Amino acid sequence: MKNLLLIGDSIRAGYDKSVKKTLEGKANVIFPAENCRFASYVLRYLHEYLGDIKGEEIDVIHWNAGLWDCLRLFEEEPHTPIEVYEYYIDRICNRITKLCPNAKVVFATSTTVLSEKMSKDFKRYNEEIAKYNEVAVKVVTKYGFKVNDLYSASVKLPEEAHSDPVHYYTSLGTETFTNCVLDAVLPLLGIDEPLCYLEEMYTDKPVGI
């Protein structure tokens, strides 16, 4: 079986178990137990997310970083200035190509939030998320990576798809993003047969909400 590595923040946690369950017997799905947080954190720990599998054996990588980077705490500037975010996204792309030279890579854009329901001391803005996405897409496409536009998918979801202002730990949210990920990775895994979606919801309290 081919190896699929999922990397990302707590949005990834909302679909990783369902992706793994749906692909059981079709692909080996790997993802870290922890939240991968912001871009510089992904760069630091990327090699550890491979687990016991050699980088050369990873066939497909689906990853994201951004929501922690554009987070504004206590009405200050974003955690990671956008030009620094661009720098780290580029370094992550370069690191991926070195560690996993055979992998086909998909970058997922960050999803929308309900800004009006967030505290002023803990804030994200969709306009800012979109700008960070734009910067990341510019970088990852330079490396030939594909883009999975989860931002556009999240825009179409009703408010009840949210489990809180940031996350989508609901049946609708889980199924939507699981299917988005499957649509992106199945062709890269060489799987062309129809699969039956199998739900496994994330129920723990999100880290970094």
What percentage of the chain reaches a pLDDT higher than 70?
Answer: 99
- In this predicted structure, the answer to whether residue 207 has a pLDDT above a threshold of 80 is no
Question: pLDDT by residue (tens digit) across 33-65?
Answer: 999 999 999 999 999 999 999 999 999 999 999
Q: Tens of pLDDT along 174-205?
A: 999 999 999 999 999 999 998 999 999 998 88
Nearest alpha carbon to residue 169 among 16, 40, 34: 16
Confidence of residue 209 (pLDDT cuts 50, 70, 90): low
Domains of the chain: 2-189 (3.40.50.1110)
- 85-116 residue pLDDT tens: 999 999 999 999 999 999 999 999 999 999 99
Distances from the Cα of 45 to the Cαs of 24, 61, 156, in angstroms?
26, 15, 33
Q: What is the pLDDT of residue 62?
A: 98
For residues 11 and 34, give the distance between their C-alpha atoms in angstroms, rounded to a whole number: 12
Long-range contacts, stretch 49-57, CB < 8 angstroms, 24+ apart: 49/5, 49/7, 50/5, 50/99, 50/100, 53/3, 55/99, 55/100, 55/101, 55/103, 56/100, 56/101, 56/102, 57/3, 57/102
Pairwise CA distance, residues 107 & 151, whole Å: 12
Average pLDDT over residues 151-180: 98
pLDDT at 204: 86
Give exposure, 136-166, as e/b (b: 16+ Cβ within 10 Å): bbebbeeeebbbbebbebbeebeeebbbebb
What is the distance between the alpha carbons of residues 103 and 126, in angstroms, rounded to a whole number?
31
pTM of the model: 0.97
